[in-house]
């Protein structure tokens, strides 16, 4: 990934009626870019409107003829924009997302002008959808997650939300290929059945477009597991390409049953690394299997095959440097967590495109994948606990991912190294 500077600053302005998945897309873009170390943040105008006191507004509030409502929403948008500009400067931000409805041309022109005056490139991202089933599903999900409808009876909330959409429809002007041809924009039609792009120029813009083209919203799960306990794990050595221990093999035998309990009759695909221990762990699973070199364990370079104790003795400075900044530290002749993220990016992209996938791989690699889905801050991600003989089920949803851990109840050594120690012990 190139290094980005002030000249790359970009604001993605969401466009579209309510319940078109705008917040979902905004959250995903922020998570993806942050994971790749691009400073990004989402500014939700609805959130600012609520801060200003309109906590449970009725649909009438959103009527374009309701002057008071209009004024409040304009103020909310201005505050969101002010905070965004402040963030660009104070936090050296690169990509901001303005999550609002922005249904009129006049509004869009106002935002674009303000951004350009601050040397921020505007890029419009419209989610347009007339698939009524999909919209209704979104409305049902939103009324149960939106703070606007906290404590409101379900039927009432849905009815009100649909009325709110009607208010916006009155003035909605979708992006238009001829009228808006000077603007940088992306239009998603029915999620990604059709994607129209216009004047996409910078590297970051094309990266974002490519990413959202790969997203889908079908319900699905992702299961993650480390390989079973290996001979090297038992000997407290890192890296290598050893076989499973007898307990590791026991886990491999039990895995099909545990997965079936969690996945039912779903037809999964299993992804493994090219190392012996992941293949051995997957050998009894009845699913199609795919091997990825990119899923191999973080390369420990000259320390491969050593115990942490030996590393501390032989390379004390490296041992300390790694504890001080585990994300950036690169083993001599090996890799850092940052390096692993770079090679995992195509895996994440493919994972977004797929439905039910079971990944059997290694501790550091799983930490990176887990951090992407669970929004774990970069400096914490190398310290996430991913114990052996545990299946993790991820459920991506509209606002974030839910994770469940299923223990196989087969003992294994701990491979968790605490900061400042060469001892291995699971965090409590
Ligand atoms: C979007 O999907 C719906 C339902 O499948 C379909 O009726 C509609 O024609 C689609 N719209 C466009 C513009 O393709
Ligand atoms: C599962 O999916 C694979 C392709 O991904 C297919 O070849 C296989 O026949 C499917 N199995 C079942 C039981 O549906
Ligand atoms: C309907 C509408 O115009 N929605 C918002 C679009 O974005 C502007 C600026 O951010 C807001 O002022 C509007 O409320």
Cα(138)–Cα(217) distance, integer angstroms: 10
* 390-397 and 400-407 beta bridge pairing: antiparallel
Cβ 267 under 6 angstroms from ligand 2 = yes
Say if CB 341 and CB 328 are below 8 A apart: no
Helical spans, DSSP H, in 91-173:
105-117, 132-145, 154-169
Nearest atom of ligand 1 to the alpha carbon of 133: 4
* Largest pairwise CA distance in the chain: 74
Cα(371)–Cα(338) distance, integer angstroms: 12
Q: Give the H/E segment covering residue 12.
A: strand 10-15
Distance (angstroms) between ligand 3 centre and the Cα of 105 equals: 10
Nearest ligand by distance to the CA of 96: 3
Domains in the chain, CATH or no CATH each: 10-214 (3.40.50.300), 222-407 (3.40.50.1240)
Q: Phi and psi for 268 in degrees, rounded to 5?
A: -90, 170
Across residues 302-326, what is the average pLDDT?
97
pLDDT in tens, 344-389: 999 999 999 999 999 999 999 999 999 999 999 999 999 999 999 9
Nearest atom of ligand 3 to the alpha carbon of 168: 1
Cβ 269 under 6 angstroms from ligand 2 = yes
Say if CB 304 and CB 392 are below 8 A apart: no
Beta-carbon-side half-sphere exposure of residue 377 (alpha carbons within 13 Å): 3
pLDDT level of residue 217 (50, 70, 90 thresholds):
confident
pLDDT in tens, 69-78: 888 888 999 9
Residue 145 has pLDDT above 80, yes or no: no
Kindly state the DSSP code that residue 237 receives in the 8-state scheme. B
- Catalytic member of 126, 205, 227, 229: 227
Q: Phi and psi for 329 in degrees, rounded to 5?
A: -60, 125
Q: pLDDT value at position 426?
A: 87
Across residues 22-40, what is the average pLDDT?
94
To the question of pTM greater than 0.85 for the whole model, the response is yes
Say if CB 274 and CB 296 are below 8 A apart: yes
Helical spans, DSSP H, in 17-66:
22-35, 45-51
Return the SS3 of 279.
Answer: helix
What does the buried/exposed string (b/e) look like for 147-166 if buried means 16 or more CB atoms within 10 Å of the residue's CB?
ebbeeeeeeebbebbbebbe
């Amino acid at each position: 990934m190139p290094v980005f500077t002030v000249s790359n600053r970009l604001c993605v302005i969401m466009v579209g009626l309510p319940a078109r998945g705008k917040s979902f897309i905004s959250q995903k873009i922020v998570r993806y870019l942050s994971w790749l170390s691009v400073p990004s943040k989402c500014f939700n105008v609805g959130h600012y409107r609520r801060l200003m006191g309109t906590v449970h507004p009725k649909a009438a509030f959103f009527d374009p003829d309701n002057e008071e409502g209009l004024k409040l929403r304009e103020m909310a948008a201005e505050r969101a924009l002010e905070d965004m500009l402040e963030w660009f400067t104070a936090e050296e931000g690169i990509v901001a997302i303005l999550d609002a409805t922005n249904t009129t041309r006049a509004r869009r022109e106002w935002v674009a002008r303000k951004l350009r005056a601050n040397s921020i490139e505007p890029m419009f991202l419209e989610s347009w959808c007339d698939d009524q089933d999909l919209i209704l599903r979104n409305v049902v999900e939103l009324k149960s997650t939106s703070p606007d409808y906290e404590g409101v009876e379900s039927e009432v909330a849905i009815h009100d939300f649909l009325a709110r959409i009607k208010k916006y429809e009155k003035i909605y002007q979708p992006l238009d290929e001829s009228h808006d041809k000077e603007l940088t924009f992306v239009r998603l039609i029915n999620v990604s059945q059709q994607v129209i792009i216009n004047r996409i120029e910078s590297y970051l813009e094309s990266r974002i477009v490519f990413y959202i083209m790969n997203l889908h919203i079908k319900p699905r799960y992702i299961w993650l597991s480390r390989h079973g306990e290996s001979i090297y794990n038992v000997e407290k050595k890192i890296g290598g390409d050893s076989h499973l221990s007898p307990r590791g093999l026991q886990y491999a035998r039990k895995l099909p049953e545990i997965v079936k309990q969690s996945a039912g009759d779903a037809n999964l695909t299993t992804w493994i690394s090219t190392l012996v221990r992941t293949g051995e762990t997957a050998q009894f699973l009845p699913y199609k299997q795919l091997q990825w070199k990119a899923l191999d364990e973080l390369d420990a370079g000259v320390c491969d095959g050593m115990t942490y104790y030996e590393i501390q003795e032989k390379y004390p400075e490296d041992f300390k440097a790694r504890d001080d900044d585990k994300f950036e530290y690169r083993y001599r002749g090996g890799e850092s967590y940052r390096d692993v993220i770079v090679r995992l990016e195509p895996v994440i992209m493919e994972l977004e495109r797929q439905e039910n996938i079971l990944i059997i791989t290694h501790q550091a690699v799983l930490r990176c994948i887990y951090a992407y889905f669970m929004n774990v801050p970069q400096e914490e991600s190398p310290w996430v606990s991913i114990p052996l003989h545990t299946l993790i089920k991820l459920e991506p949803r509209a606002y974030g991912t839910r994770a469940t851990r299923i223990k196989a109840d087969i003992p294994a050594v701990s491979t968790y190294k605490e900061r400042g120690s060469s001892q291995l012990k699971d965090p409590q």
